[in-house]
Chains A and B, each alone.
Chain A
Amino acid sequence: MANADCIVIQGSNMAECHPVGFQWVEEARARGARVIHVDPRFTRTTAVSDKHIPIRAGSDVVLLGALINHILTNDLWFKEYVVAYTNAATLINENFRDTEDLGGLFSGFDPETGQYDPSTWAYAESDGDHIESPGGGHEHGADASARAAGDEHGGAGPALAHAGVLRDDTLQHPRTVFQILKRHYARYTREMVRDVCGISLEDFDYLARSIVENSGRERTTCFAYAVGWTQHTLGAQFIRTAAILQLLLGNVGRPGSGIMALRGHASIQGSTDIPTLFNLLPGYLPMPKAGTHDTLGDYLEVVGSKKQKGFWANADTYVVSLLKAWWGDAAQQDNDWAYDYLPRLSGPHGTYQTVVAMLDDEVEGYFLLGQNPAIGSAHGRMQRLGMSHLKWLVVRDLNLIESATWWKDGPEIATGELRTEGIETEVFFFPAATHVEKKGSFTQTQRMLQWRHKALDPPGDCQSELQFVYELGKRIKARLAGSTDERDRPLLDLTWDYPTDEHGDPDGEAVLAEVNGRYLTGPDAGKYLSSFTEMRADGSTAGGCWIYTGVYANGINQAARRVPRGGPGPSQSEWGWVWPADRRILYNRASADPDGKPWSERKKYIWWDPEAEGGSGRWVGDDVPDFPADRAPGSRPDPDLGGPGALSGDDAFIMQADGKGWLFAPQGVVDGPLPTHYEPQESPVANALYPQQQNPARIIFPRKDNLSAPSAGEPGADVYPYVFTTYRLTEHHTAGGMSRWLPYLSELQPEMFCEVSPELAAERGLEPYGWATIISPRTAIEARVLVTERMTPLVVGGHTVHQIGLPYHWGVGGDAVVSGDAANDLLGLTLDPNVQIQESKAGSCDIRPGRRPQGEELLRLVEEYQSRAGVTVETDNVRVTDPAREIIYPPRGQDTRGADGPADRTD
């Protein structure tokens, strides 16, 4: 980010939440960059930015869409970049219908399942057909949503059957992506931004001018976002809009460009790379699904067709190497490399669905490893009540977090909903070692692995995760020893032999080496792999995570490199190790023009050197080229070759199936190929762009314990008239497990508070530093009141919208240095359909002065509000807002050749 000329921080409070990373923004600013902060609140980030643009939480697609519209209408897009490197010129099939045609829906919506069939979004094919997913047909949105399939594209683009697309390079054909884009965003005007986001025309013009003046050959603009974008019912689409904008401006793959995803904590990137998620295998391979991926052959056909371009076509080598790493000699050619040992998904196993299953007594046990869902997850009450249905609960943490003590001092004990004596859950607490008491890697938001060394031994019984899991595995294997049950074979055959130190702690470097991978057979047997291109599908290589291959090349722990500032070059490559293959900027082929020359001297990064390698030419520069090193800029191999070999000299987006950046996403995003504005699940504002109020494909949980506030126009909407948004403070960390037990941090921010504007304080009679009660349809909490001009009321559609800010670090429990009510208790459960993240950034509430009632009175207060508002299980849970409207759904009989009709693909 230090190389950017303009930085837009939106959906993020970077200085407060990533203070160390923020030094690079300040570095950019010291070099003359302009920094703009778009946020509902004026925060510590805004204090050091050049401009604050206050925005209504949840309306970002309108702002970004209007910027797209502005750029397209005024011809301000980076033409050579867009034509060469994006799918702007690609034709979409003729059955596609846009939200312009269908009042806010795309073609293919199935009201029964509440998901889209994406077949009408596909690329056009030369014989009037359209391009499908590999394996035939198109995965129905419902399936993809249940698999949180959006997540698996974290490492690569979605698969296509082949890359033989149709293009119109003049961009005039009405079915080009370019023209569809123009038409789709035509209604996203700056007046719309004023009326929907509450952003003035002047502020919009300032933002538009700033990013346009800082894009092009000579300058680049960078966006940074965090959970202010992701935690919405259309969170993935927020990011998609920014991606389209950046592609149009030529701001991807270049120094100081791109979209920096600022993740939630220090190693959360690692938690999706080596996943702790239900739907992923290491390296973003999808977890197999029962009925779809029954054999290895089925799986590989769907995951990566050999006929599409790019490195995903080699998925078989990654999968087999992974299976060899996990099952060693038990994985052989004749048993499909132990593919059957992998578990299969049978539906959505996300954390929220699991909690609902707990309430239905379907879940016996729960491991909480460094997680505090009683505070940190949405709908705290549901989390704690869910845990009371478990047979057993294991909490592994540094401190006795609220998720370990809810059974004796949680809010439900106080209200009487739970009685300690009546709870049958057996709770085990295992003390955990801190990050300085064990060695291992962290993978942060930049895809960078940084090694952590051990400074001292853990005290008492505290253990590292490695030791805990290793010991657990050993004991389970011991119990199953001698079993003849087929079900036990996957556990018994796991390779489970790590060197341990004198305390029994497994060696983290041994695990890192295993993740990196090595040759198993042949002349190099035992040698570490140095690149994922060395992986094979014949069982001769093993590797735990193909994108990490190279971190332990030559037996050197590359993640432990620490040259200050990463060395002198602009890519700062000498600090840590970045996946894949230590490429610091992905898709950096796009930093050079189609002929291989840098776009400008000022922004040169990698380029084609025709003299290198004795005249055959090579890509050289300040980073590892994210491109086949010897592929000349002008090469046009036969696309039927498939795989990396089929990439043309200008296919900068090497993991995409057609080698191009996708402005329009025919696959992979389940709620629309183009981002569209919808209001949050509950919102006092009616959608001004379309009749469709909410995201039709969002995941809802219509339950009596999960009621939503009536949205704009519905009776009772004025009972919860204000918008609340949740956020973090620098002084605390997530749900407080690592900060509220520390005196030094607790004294810096001791009490739960809310932030309100002076206008709202006056309207509701709130005293500065007094108490307030905030009520949502789920529960009510109390907080101290900070009256501040940093919160501004916004005028939206002629009405004033007040926003209330709530930090979410506090929880009710007896063990911490400081406690308080939990903001996330106010949230209901509604999820984004692509990745199943909860909507926690926009909800509806009321606020009134004074402390909240205690005990059973609290429940009465919440019920009183609910009945006044008339909320029922149906409120806000209607899929299509105006059911009388036409929905284009691919009719049977007219199905395109080869595609299975949608009805055949339902579960």
Chain B
Amino acid sequence: MGQLTGPTDPATDAGWGDRKPRKGFFTDTSICIGCKACEVACKEWNRNPRDGDLELLGSSYDNTGHLGASTWRHVAFIEQGRDRIEQARESGRALIDLGMPTLPGPPDPIDTRADLKPPDTPEFRWLMSSDVCKHCTHAGCLDVCPTGALFRTEFGTVVVQDDVCNGCGTCVAGCPFGVVERRSDGTYATPTRQSDRLAHKFVTNVAQKCTLCYDRLVEDQIPACAKTCPTTSIKFGDHDDLVAVARERVAQLHAQGRTEARLYGANEHDGVGGTGSVFLLLDEPEVYGLPPDPRVCTADLPQMFKHAGLAGAGMFAAAALAFWRSR
């Protein structure tokens, strides 16, 4: 098996000889206008079913709720007052003082007319962020899949094959972000067993998630959500380039006094080895419904095996001893 933790190039690690530059997203939530075009473009391209119940969710303008088997882009809306904004700014300042990565080299020339002191903390702000599958470097769903339905593509992304998946659901538990889910209407139908009736055209009871538009990538196209995003909040490209862009953008915001800005998923030493989908957040990850310290469930596998092995060996030794004794 491949590497379980730590920085790596996932496609190479998965055995691709002819690998492409790793592809991913950089979602700059500071310029997201919450239009949800990404949600619709994704559903249109992938022909996913409507999965809302046509009722207000009770979560500001968010009536989608979370990622799932039929929703592969989800826009969160968080309304915050002055206190919360101040706290976010403080925790961001603390991160900067800790020495979080900033752009090396001379600072960019700054327009002398710009307000350099932190902006007057507004009374209110409305955070908007488009969530998506993280396509982790070390992917929990991929690592636990027993059938091989989930696989690592040559672009470094993680894709599930709905005609191989047996619907066991282990990947659902394996994802630290709660992204992948089984599509359920009580029946089970893979593409080979679908009826011709329109209502049953969707595969059911198999795991479904964002494919990073694998079918578009192989045709040299960009994912539907990135293509449609009107403000380039969702940026698509080579992962390494995007991380560099993300770091620059955070530095730019910090220079404007917006210390609340921070990256999520850009640290390749984190519990999933960094993610293919990097985010620029303006508050703690929990505010956006994201786990603050995601960790792939197989990260401790070597140690677990070692302990198990040790325990097993100990048990074997104890049993042998007992057997030996009783002879």
The residues of A with any CB-CB pair to B shorter than 8 Å are: 15-16, 19-20, 22-23, 26, 29, 32, 42, 44-48, 50-52, 213, 729-731, 743-751, 753, 768-769, 784, 786, 788-790, 817-818
Contact = CB atoms under 8 A, between A and B. Distances in A.
Nearest to A29: B31
A678 to B, nearest CB: 31
B64 interface: yes
Contacts of A15: 33-35
A253 B221 CA distance: 39
Interface string B32-76: 111111011001100000111011101011011000000000000
A50 B123 CA distance: 12
Given A16-B33, A19-B230, A789 B52 contact: no
Given A19-B230, A23-B230, A790-B124, A748 B54 contact: no
A226 B35 CA distance: 18
Contact of A44 (B35, B40, B50, B63): B35
B31 to A, nearest CB: 5
Contacts of B126: 42, 44, 46-47, 790
A768 B31 contact: no
B128 interface: yes
B114 interface: yes
Interface of B: 30-37, 39-40, 43-44, 50-52, 54-56, 58, 60-61, 63-64, 79, 81, 111, 113-114, 119, 122-128, 230-232
Contacts of A32: 111, 114
Contact of B230 (A22, A51, A786): A22
Nearest to A788: B79
A743 B52 CA distance: 9
20 contacts: A22-B33, A22-B230, A22-B231, A26-B31, A44-B128, A47-B34, A48-B32, A52-B124, A213-B113, A730-B35, A730-B36, A743-B50, A744-B40, A744-B50, A748-B52, A750-B55, A753-B56, A769-B58, A784-B56, A788-B79
A744 B44 contact: yes
Contact of B33 (A48, A747, A750, A784): A48
Nearest to B39: A748
Contacts of A751: 54-56
Contact of B40 (A748, A753, A788): A748
Given A730-B36, A743-B50, A789-B79, A750 B128 contact: no
Indicate the member of A52, A748, A753 with the most B CB atoms within 10 Å. A748
Given A23-B230, A750-B55, A44 B33 contact: yes
A15 B39 CA distance: 17
Which 7 pairs across A and B sit closest by C-beta, in order of nearness? A747-B52, A743-B50, A15-B33, A47-B126, A750-B54, A19-B35, A769-B58
Nearest to B34: A44
Contacts of A750: 52, 54-56, 63
A789 B35 contact: no
Determine chain B's interface SS by DSSP, over half rule. Answer: loop
Contacts of B34: 15, 44, 47, 730
A281 B40 CA distance: 39
B43 A744 contact: yes
A789 B81 contact: yes
Nearest to A18: B230
A688 B5 CA distance: 69
Contact of A745 (B40, B125, B232): B40
A749 B58 contact: no
Contacts of B64: 747-748
Contact of B37 (A19, A743, A788, A817): A19
A730 B126 CA distance: 16
A208 to B, nearest CB: 16
Given A19-B230, A744-B40, A747-B64, 8 more contacts: A22-B33, A44-B34, A47-B126, A47-B128, A747-B50, A748-B52, A788-B79, A818-B54
Contacts of B61: 44, 729, 749
Given A32-B114, A44-B34, A46-B126, A747 B230 contact: no
Nearest to A214: B113
Nearest to A817: B54
A29 B232 CA distance: 13
A222 B231 CA distance: 19
B35 A746 contact: no
A850 B33 CA distance: 32
Contacts of A768: 58
Contact of B63 (A47, A749, A817): A749
A45 B113 CA distance: 24
A750 B36 CA distance: 14
A747 B63 contact: yes
